Amino acid sequence: MTIRGAAFIAGIYEHPRREIPDRTIWEIHTEVALGALADAGLTMKDVDGIFCDGSAGFGPMSLADHFGLRPKYVDSTETGGSSYLAHVGHAAAAIAAGKCSVALVTLAGKPRSSTGAERVSFAAAPESGFESGWGINGAAHSYALAAQRHMYEFGTTSAQLAEIKVAASIHAQHNPHAFLPYAVTIEDVLNSPMVADPLHRLDCCVVTDGGGALVIVSPEVARTLGKTSAKILGHGEAVKHTNNGHTDLTYTGAVWSGPAAFAEAGVTVKDIKYASIYDSFTITVLQTIEDLGFCEKGKGGAFVSDGGLVAPFGKLPFNTDGGGLCNNHPANRGGMTKVIEAVRQLRGTTHPAVQVPNCNVVLAHGTGGSLGTRHVSATLILGQEDV
């Protein structure tokens, strides 16, 4: 069964605030859910499927109770930053199978302002005792390992990584809600404090409260709404782990999730007008671009240089909201905002300074976990309704 054309993203909403000390997680879930439903022209009464991660309460079971709903289908897939790319694919599959017709996907979290139970937390994994004692005790360390190896293998430089932050910051200037709404230079990135060699502070994403929501509907429902919806063309997921120590740090799970999504969508990298690429760190973007096939392995540094990612006329306009590097990384799960900005580009509703012309096919990609150890990659390809 294919999901190509089986479902549409009809509603999107990104919480406008980046620090929300006066709301509970459940209040944030409610605000973004109502925002996305209003954008779609629907109400809570229309929802028959609920999708969210498992970071709070009992996930969709708690949300169903909170919203007063009796959904026919629920999904609590938890793959970190790629969760919400996975949810889109799973919702489309559920709709194609007739399990639901209006799927509500919500994200909420308070990693910035909360110090207690509302923080995102993960149970101790079986590998943690072996890795934490040897220095892998934070995300930056794992990503720094991947960056060091890429530099060793291919000659990638810190200045090339900095180009990714610079492009994101150029875009963030046009986003009134961006956490860091100003442009930076390569020198600014290289002169910022070192976090984990070779990654500087400005190579790292922001930490924000917030959330977002999507409404995914069947073609029959989409036809009744009378507004522009994003057609789901293709989706792929893949797990990459350490393989008991036999691992190559220079590639990500996108080498598998990307081809699956392109094959289902029936398009190639040449058809992609815009890409939302998960940007927990600058190295995440560089490796993902290579693994999705936008350039050869090892050539990512050259590809992103000289404004290659700057909208609207770069080789691959990316993250036109400022991305996780500058705009928003809500609840440490930036995959949600990647989908939202991709839909904005298809609708033509991004800021005119960064709107990609003739933007009819877009890609969104999430990476959940740690680049240098284990993660899940999820790739989503969307198009305008006539694609």
pLDDT, mean over the chain: 93
Alpha-carbon distances of 90 from 27, 96, 161, 344, 354, rounded to whole Å = 25, 10, 33, 21, 30
Question: What letter represents residue 29's amino acid?
Answer: H
Contacts of 107 (CB under 8 A, 6+ apart): 32, 52, 53, 83, 84, 211, 212, 213, 330, 331, 333, 336
pLDDT band at 75 (very low <50, low <70, confident <90, very high): very high
Predicted local confidence at residue 386, as pLDDT = 78
Question: Is the pLDDT score of 138 beyond 90?
Answer: no
Contacts of 328 (CB under 8 A, 6+ apart): 14, 18, 177, 178, 179, 206, 208, 210, 321, 322, 334, 337
Average of per-residue pLDDT across 294-300: 98
Average of per-residue pLDDT across 357-370: 96
Predicted local confidence at residue 108, as pLDDT = 95
pLDDT band at 116 (very low <50, low <70, confident <90, very high): low
Q: Give dist(CA 37, CA 236) in Å, integer.
A: 26
Residue 241 forms part of a structural domain: yes
Q: CATH code at 341?
A: 3.40.47.10
Question: Is the pLDDT score of 304 beyond 80?
Answer: yes
86-100, 146-160, 287-301, 362-376: which range is least confident on average?
362-376
**Lookup: tokens for 231:** 């057609």
Average of per-residue pLDDT across 26-53: 97
pLDDT band at 372 (very low <50, low <70, confident <90, very high): confident
Average of per-residue pLDDT across 206-218: 97
Count CB neighbours of 175 within 10 A.
21
Average of per-residue pLDDT across 18-46: 97
Q: Give dist(CA 278, CA 175) in Å, integer.
A: 18
Predicted local confidence at residue 120, as pLDDT = 46
Residue 150 forms part of a structural domain: no
Residue 137 forms part of a structural domain: no
Q: Is 26 exposed, middle or buried (0-12, 13-18, 19+ CB in 10 A)?
A: middle
The better pLDDT of the pair 214, 134 is held by 214
Residue 235 forms part of a structural domain: yes
SS (HEC) of 146-212: HHHHHHHHHCCCHHHHHHHHHHHHHHHCCCCCCCCCCCCCHHHHHHCCEEECCEEHHHECCCECEEE
Residue 142 forms part of a structural domain: no
Name the residue range of residue 215's domain.
8-114+205-383
Question: Is 345 in contact with 220 (CB distance < 8 Å)?
Answer: no
Residue 77 forms part of a structural domain: yes
Residue 164 forms part of a structural domain: no
Query: Which of 215, 178, 190, 201 lies closest to 320 in space, CA to CA?
Result: 178
Predicted local confidence at residue 123, as pLDDT = 46
Question: Is 8 in contact with 217 (CB distance < 8 Å)?
Answer: yes
Question: Is the pLDDT score of 122 beyond 60?
Answer: no
pLDDT, tens digit, 9 for 90 and up, residues 309-328: 999 999 999 999 999 999 99
Residue 157 forms part of a structural domain: no
Average of per-residue pLDDT across 330-343: 94
Question: Is the pLDDT score of 136 beyond 70?
Answer: no
**Lookup: tokens for 299:** 């050539």
Predicted local confidence at residue 172, as pLDDT = 98
The partner residues of 380 in beta bridges, in order of sequence, read 235, 364
Query: The pTM is what?
Result: 0.95
Split into its structural domains, the chain has a count of: 1
pLDDT band at 121 (very low <50, low <70, confident <90, very high): very low
